Chain A
Amino acid sequence: AQSVSQHNHHVILSEAASLELGCNYSYGGTVNLFWYVQYPGQHLQLLLKYFSGDPLVKGIKGFEAEFIKSKFSFNLRKPSVQWSDTAEYFCAVRTGGFKTIFGAGTRLFVKA
């Protein structure tokens, strides 16, 4: 069965620290990849997405992610986090059709 694995359930960082959240998926075919973010009390919203082309994609608020096909990974990065980045982050994979599979989520807390 297809699945998405997020390596860390909880991450605590100080402001200005670098962030990398891991995401791996299990599917050997063509994939569309997403990172969504859920800020406290807000809607789930898209952070960035990959469909094809350059495997390094840039999203909103300084986030980026790199698709490494050989590793089935789509890790999220940010060079310097801010207190306002405190949120829950979800990696998601669409393998075709209308279904999207989500990871369990990573809760990030940034200390001011």
Chain B
Amino acid sequence: DGGITQSPKYLFRKEGQNVTLSCEQNLNHDAMYWYRQDPGQGLRLIYYSQIVNDFQKGDIAEGYSVSREKKESFPLTVTSAQKNPTAFYLCASRPGGGSYNEQFFGPGTRLTVL
């Protein structure tokens, strides 16, 4: 089965702790994305990566970090500098090489910071 997996589904952390969210895809897609979904605000882009070893900040990158060491993996770290980290986090991927394609989304991780 081809797709995007995110783990864990639910994550609880204490305030001040860094936490890493996993995103893996076996679709052989070049581009990967991290979004944050909050009620009434839609999806906001945190980071995106067009190819391995390259990534760019999105609209709300402060307090987050990413890496793209492998094509299939794009982990997101929520650092203690993120002021309001409790949210639903979505990972997505898209084939590269042109704009005539859409994003595919994972099931999401709901992070709650206590």
B106 surroundings in chain A (CB, below 8 A): 43
Chain A interface size, under 10 / 10 to 19 / 20 to 34 / 35 or more: 20 to 34
A34 to B103 CA separation, bound complex (whole angstroms): 10
The main secondary structure of chain A at its interface with chain B is strand
A98 to chain B, nearest CB (A): 5
B31 A98 Cβ-Cβ under 8 A = yes
A9 to B44 CA separation, bound complex (whole angstroms): 17
A40 to chain B, nearest CB (A): 13
State whether the Cβ of A77 lies closer than 8 Å to any Cβ in chain B: no
State whether the Cβ of A83 lies closer than 8 Å to any Cβ in chain B: no
Given A103-B42, A104-B40, A104-B41: A43 and B107 within 8 A (CB)? Answer: yes
A90 B102 Cβ-Cβ under 8 A = no
Contact of B105 (CB < 8 Å), options: A43, A49, A51, A105: A43
Q: Could you pull out 6 A-B pairs where Cβ atoms are within 8 angstroms?
A: A34-B102, A45-B105, A90-B42, A92-B43, A98-B50, A100-B45
**Which B residues lie at the A interface, using CB under 8 A?**
31, 33, 35, 40-45, 48, 50, 58, 90, 92, 94, 99-100, 102-103, 105-108
Top 8 nearest A-B pairs by Cβ distance?
Answer: A102-B43, A44-B105, A104-B42, A102-B42, A46-B102, A105-B42, A43-B105, A103-B42
